[in-house]
Amino acid sequence: VTVFDTRLPAPLDALPTPALLLDQARMSRNIADMAARAGAAGVRLRPHFKTSKCLPVARAQLAAGAVGFTCATAAEVAALQDAGAGDLLWAHAPVGPAKVSFAVSAAARGSLTIAVDSMAVAAPLSEAASAAGVTIPYLIEVDTGHGRAGVPPESVTALASELARLPGLELRGVFTHEGQLARHVGDRPALEAAGRHVGETMVAVAAAVTSAGHPCQVVSVGSTPGATSAPEVPGVTEARAGTYVFYDANQVALGSAASEQCALTVLTRVVRVRADGTVITDAGVKAMSSDISAAGNGFGVVAPDIDFTLANEEHGFLTGPGTTKLRVGDLLRVVPNHACGTVNMWSGMYVVDGDTATQRWTTTARH
């Protein structure tokens, strides 16, 4: 529903709060910088769509040379296919009848590769694809230390040999999400070394799969903290950073970006100044998401001398020396801990140029 009919362009002061803001100039620089980085490393860039869930953002990434997108959900796949947005990797194994049949029909539309990490995942897909007369390309997911999905590097070749017996599926290569790099807060050299190790592991896995006689053209790594290390290893063919398009406070804590690169903020107003000095705003968990802070300072970053340590659904609680100057009605911009979680809370974002909102872009494919 449209509640506020704010005419754009408008100054930030005219916007209803809370509001999600996107600094377009920062986003454009982030897109250009990552495209250049992937180009210099000689890898294809397949950004993760879960960060923006926003088609104008995806179009800007494609215009800068992205080969297509990584998706987490069926809704993201469908939204991008409907928009004609190119070659997609659905990097989340489709399990259960609804997702299996979606995978088959989406693959039949073309340019979809899926993720597989076991025979249990693959068997129903093989059966459904064969019945439909479709061949679905897939990558084997490798667990390089994140401990989530994927098989350990030493098990990939054996799994590839088992999977090769299944009709309706066609191996294209291997991928990993090196989310474990986020453990290296405050130690960028250790993070970079761990990222290079991920790249080397994946290249060795691909060599083993190839020498066992299986196709393995794609060697895909993917994360924003790892974008400066894992894709640089010779033999890696693809990088799948997602968060880089906006960055966030957690990426700043990891040394992936400077705070001046953070393109996404939540605009909020002070709605109460409590007698004890605590300041209450209109941005709570439903504006920020409850994603935790890598730096341990709450629900988002307001200012160096303000802590955002507590949030209810629709109220934020600010403490610290910087709150003494705040009055009811004051506007604040909060950098989210995790851009992707915050975007998923919103039906749209205001595109801002300096202190002016110029347009509103809708988000899509949310749960």
Ligand X SMILES: Cc1ncc(COP(=O)(O)O)c(C=O)c1O
Binding positions for ligand X, rule: CB under 6 A: 48, 70, 91, 177, 222-225, 240-244
Nearer to ligand X, 175 or 350 (CB): 175
Burial of 212 (0-12, 13-18, 19+ CB in 10 A): middle
Q: Does 225 sit behind a cis peptide bond, omega within 30 degrees of 0 on the bond before it?
A: no
For residue 141, give the nearest of 156, 126, 154 by alpha carbon. 156
Q: How far is the CB of 271 from ligand X (least distance, A)?
A: 32
Structure tokens at 288: 């920020």
Q: How far is the CB of 291 from ligand X (least distance, A)?
A: 11
**Amino acid at residue number 150:** G
Nearer to ligand X, 14 or 258 (CB): 258
Q: How far is the CB of 284 from ligand X (least distance, A)?
A: 24
Counting other chains too, the contacts that 209-214 makes at CB distance below 8 Å and 24 or more residues apart are: 209/140, 209/156, 209/157, 209/160, 209/171, 209/174, 212/157, 212/160, 212/161, 214/157, 214/160, 214/161, 214/164, 214/171
Q: How far is the CB of 142 from ligand X (least distance, A)?
A: 11
Q: Where are the beta strands (DSSP E) in 210-303?
A: 218-221, 238-239, 264-273, 279-281, 300-301
Q: DSSP labels for 151-206?
A: B-GGGHHHHHHHHTTSTTEEEEEEE---GGGGG-TT-HHHHHHHHHHHHHHHHHHH
Q: How far apart are CA 358 and CA 13, in angstroms?
A: 13
- Name 319's Cβ contacts closer than 8 Å, sequence gap at least 6: 277, 278, 279, 306, 307, 309
Nearer to ligand X, 81 or 251 (CB): 251
Nearer to ligand X, 107 or 182 (CB): 182
Nearer to ligand X, 48 or 269 (CB): 48
Structure tokens at 293: 């802070």
Nearer to ligand X, 53 or 315 (CB): 53
Nearer to ligand X, 225 or 231 (CB): 225
Q: How far is the CB of 42 from ligand X (least distance, A)?
A: 19
Q: How far is the CB of 172 from ligand X (least distance, A)?
A: 15
C-beta separation of 12 from 267 below 8 A: yes
Nearer to ligand X, 121 or 279 (CB): 121
Nearer to ligand X, 244 or 346 (CB): 244
**Amino acid at residue number 205:** V
Reported residue count of the chain is 367
Q: How far is the CB of 233 from ligand X (least distance, A)?
A: 17
Q: How far is the CB of 343 from ligand X (least distance, A)?
A: 12
Nearer to ligand X, 94 or 242 (CB): 242
Q: How far is the CB of 10 from ligand X (least distance, A)?
A: 31
Q: How far is the CB of 197 from ligand X (least distance, A)?
A: 17
Q: How far apart are CA 281 and CA 300, in angstroms?
A: 13
**Amino acid at residue number 367:** H
Sign of torsion over alpha carbons 255, 258, 259, 261: negative
